[in-house]
A and B are shown apart, each in its own frame.
Chain A
């Protein structure tokens, strides 16, 4: 039971962590909480249904399941990355030198816009996707790990390692870190700040897209409002880990998934969401910088 709940919690937490990375990266550079980020995740989930539908129509899943999943994830990352870059270009860049509250409100507006856009374009009802991968998977010490759960853990760990390597080793990653330390100075020493910010949004949004695809495969239910709760929870994960810190977002995501699952199973499932926000409040009171953060959090 303990092991099973840990696996459930890690799978859920991996999804939170992937979304939380987008929050934390954008905050690290712009000190902006991108409230439209949850909607990008929702877009990723819708894209999964659309792409999977198209691929199933041509019969690809029967030929190669792995290829189907790779194409779906790639297309969702591409589209959501473009959405992320567009959101930054349209809603945040014009307000870069405005008071901090202005881009924040712009972010909330963007979130409402995207939600309503999807509601009008795709309808208000739940969209469903039948289970594609077998419900049976491995049995580890009496606990079941389904194929989808393995996929979620595997994909998210790979992406997180890749991101960590990219940020710490690559030239662009270095530019990213420089920009997050001091945007003006980075610009003065020749870093193309606008490009760095665009790349940050593209990476964050494509990670959210992957989370969206994985959740569609996991639960099979997609709804235009799903980005709201998931966004809030991922934001909590980012704060728990220390907003602005990439390893913090990863740890925060997994930790939150575990807290939710243990709370729901050992205390009461009726208060599952309450545990998340209790964590948010406790973190903000006792350790506002989060587990891995150094800077203090600006008031939102």
Chain B
């Protein structure tokens, strides 16, 4: 019995030491927030843009003395645009007891990860996941500062119907939660007025899309819609030109990035992309752009959204005086925030009340607002 007690005490002692060392290894006087997105792989630019913006926001708060007298520490999580990886990042954040998460970027990552944040009572604000399902799960702690794909698909559809006035359209998507969701909303919005002559998925990361493009060309559409992200979109427009498909591509916010034009070259000309309104005229956005550029170079399309998301999270911690998820969520859903991007307030689901999508067009190697 004595020996058993001895070994039990030793064991407990050892466990205590491990636990204690786990606690002391990180600074107790800091508030940790997560920044999650794809930081490696073909969509890595988006995740890095997101992390930089969150780090910029944290650095600005730290210069002013942090929040609640504590420094802010940003923990970057690379989900590689892979839902499985996103869940493991979510688990890591739960174990590290972060006060909130800015992320993830892909809808297919945000949706499974949000379940874990919800269970652990952690606030999650996605700067870019637009699939409507994310906020329809009944989770009170899940927010997004961007619009949704039903709004976006509607804007794209309205533009196509009123401006391009096609008789026949083709619809393709990359089979992801985001891409297929967006393509489906677009299809639903145009179906009753124009003929959808083709609808199918394509394989992400495939090099060759000529087969599907040739089939589409044969159906003679006046325009084709693509639900997906820029690496695939760039290969599609490039190969479309090669097979002689001249109809313009209409696509969503996942393609709004200079990298798209860089990869596709002149084939990108005339592509229509739905995205948020132009921020060049906003003084707060200008300020953000200057600071971001000084530190990291040109901001990405979603940097400003991530920056606003981080500021919403941090100012809520300051205003409520707590890092408790439920109280933070309550505060966020009731407050109107002044972001770099303009005023942001949330509806009961956690979506922004105003989601101003506009249509952009690639012209002379740049995105310009289309009218």
Binding site for B on A (CB under 8 A): 1, 4-5, 8-9, 12, 124-126, 128, 130-131, 135, 144, 146, 148, 215, 219-221, 223, 225-226, 229, 260-262, 264-266, 268-270, 272-273
Is B5 among interface residues, defined by CB-CB distance under 8 A? no
Cα distance A226–B235 when bound, in Å?
A: 15
In the complex, B241 has a CB within 8 A of chain A: yes
Stretch at the interface among B201-209, B292-300, B328-336: B201-209
Whose C-beta in chain A lies nearest to the C-beta of B262?
A: A128
Chain A residues with Cβ below 8 Å from B212 are 264-265, 269
Alpha-carbon separation in the docked complex, A144 to B210 (Å): 12
Whether the pair B238, A269 counts as a contact (CB closer than 8 A) is: no
Q: Residues of A contacting B215 with CB < 8 Å? A: 1, 5, 264-266, 269
A131 and B214 within 8 A (CB): no
Further pairs besides A261-B210, A265-B212: 9, Cβ < 8 Å: A5-B211, A5-B214, A8-B214, A128-B263, A144-B244, A221-B231, A265-B214, A269-B211, A270-B203
Contact A272 B211 (CB under 8 A): yes
Q: Is the interface of A mostly helix, strand, loop or mixed?
A: helix
Q: Collect the chain A residues with CB atoms within 8 Å of residue B45's CB.
A: 125
The smallest C-beta distance from A118 to any residue of chain B, in angstroms, reads 14
| CB contacts between A and B, total, < 8 Å | 90
**In the complex, what residues of B have CB within 8 A of residue A9's CB?**
211
- CB of B238 within 8 A of CB of A220, answer yes
The reply to whether B214 and A221 contact each other, CB–CB distance below 8 Å, is no
How far is B175's CA from A190's CA once the two chains are assembled, in angstroms? 58
A135 touches B203 (CB 8 A): no
Give CA–CA (A244, B223) in the complex, Å. Answer: 47
Helix, strand, loop or mixed for chain B's interface?
Answer: helix
Q: Which residue of B lies closest to A268 (CB)?
A: B200
Q: Complex Cα distance A31/B205, Å?
A: 32
Question: Which residues of chain B in 9-42 are interfacial with respect to chain A, using CB atoms and an 8 Å cutoff?
Answer: 40-42
Contact B207 A261 (CB under 8 A): no
**8 Å CB interface, B186-205 against A:** 200-203, 205
Q: How far is the CB of A202 from chain B (nearest CB, A)?
A: 26
| Residue in A135, A144, A261 whose beta carbon sits within 8 Å of that of B211 in the complex | A261
Specify which chain B residues have a CB less than 8 angstroms from the CB of A131 in the assembled complex.
238, 265, 267
Residue B243 at the A interface, CB < 8 A? yes
| Minimum distance in angstroms from B178 CB to a CB of chain A | 16
Closest residue of chain B to A274 (Cβ to Cβ) is: B203
User: Shortest 3 CB-CB distances between A and B: which pairs?
Assistant: A270-B201, A264-B211, A269-B212
Task: Give chain B nearest CB distance to A267 CB in angstroms.
Answer: 10
CB pair A4–B243 under 8 Å, yes or no, is: yes
Q: Which residues of A contact B235 (CB under 8 A)?
A: 219, 221
> Are B208 and A219 touching (Cβ within 8 A)?
yes
Q: Identify A1's interface contact among B175, B203, B218, CB under 8 A.
A: B218
Q: Return A123 CB to nearest CB of chain B, in Å.
A: 9
Q: Which residue of B lies closest to A139 (CB)?
A: B244
| B242: Cβ under 8 A from any A Cβ | yes
For residue A232, give the distance in angstroms from its CB to the closest CB of chain B: 13
Given contacts A135-B241, A268-B200, contact A124 B208 (CB under 8 A): no
Q: Are B203 and A273 in contact, with the CB atoms below 8 A?
A: yes
Interface check B44, CB cutoff 8 A = yes
Bound CA span A23–B332, Å: 60
**Which parts of B153-176 form the interface with A (CB within 8 Å)?**
172, 175
Q: Given A1-B215, A124-B40, A265-B212 in contact, is the A272-B244 Cβ separation under 8 Å?
A: no
- Please give the distance in Å from B171's CB to the nearest CB on chain A: 12
Residue of B nearest to A128 (CB): B263
Known contacts A124-B44, A128-B262, A128-B263, A226 near B203 by CB under 8 Å: no
Q: What residue in chain A is nearest B80 (Cβ atoms)?
A: A124
